[in-house]
Amino acid sequence: MKNILILASLALIGCANTDSEVLNYNNRCENFERETSPLAGFEDFDNNVHRVAPQYPAEASRKRIEGYVVMVYDITEQGKTDNIEVIESYPSDIFENEAKRSLSQWIYKPAEKDSKPVRSPCHQVSIEFKIE
């Protein structure tokens, strides 16, 4: 039985892969600076309290294809992910749907300002699909 490992990295990343199959999208958060945004000075920042792991696409598993998807998203006042956008993927059109489906189910403790929950824009995550 083969083990399948799916990793999520919450750090901002810059992928150095120059392979022509990397698909880059426009990034609505490309110039976003959290420190100068109207929401600067959060009392509490988003903490992930529930993650749903993505399923490895069956065909990709059979063909032993590995890859990743980088997405940007917002966190609502209720702690749900919103405005999920793929900004990079490799290989293209294999893992995006499953990565988005998974991220759409993640739940966070919302950020707070003045002791009230607030929308927190422009978070970035990379989900890697690896076969071990």
Residues with Cβ within 8 Å of 115's Cβ and at least 6 positions away in sequence, in order, are 43
- Give the model confidence (pLDDT) of 71-96 as tens digits: 999 999 999 999 999 999 999 999 99
Q: Are strands 67-75 and 4-9 parallel, antiparallel or unpaired?
A: unpaired
pLDDT grade for 49, boundaries at 50, 70 and 90: confident
Q: Taking the model in full, what pTM does it have?
A: 0.73
- Give the model confidence (pLDDT) of 15-38 as tens digits: 333 333 555 566 777 776 654 444
In the chain, domain spans = 4-12+21-26+40-131
Q: Which CATH superfamily is domain 4-12+21-26+40-131 in?
A: TonB (3.30.2420.10)
The pLDDT score that the predictor gives to residue 112 is 86
Specify the higher pLDDT residue, 31 or 69.
Answer: 69
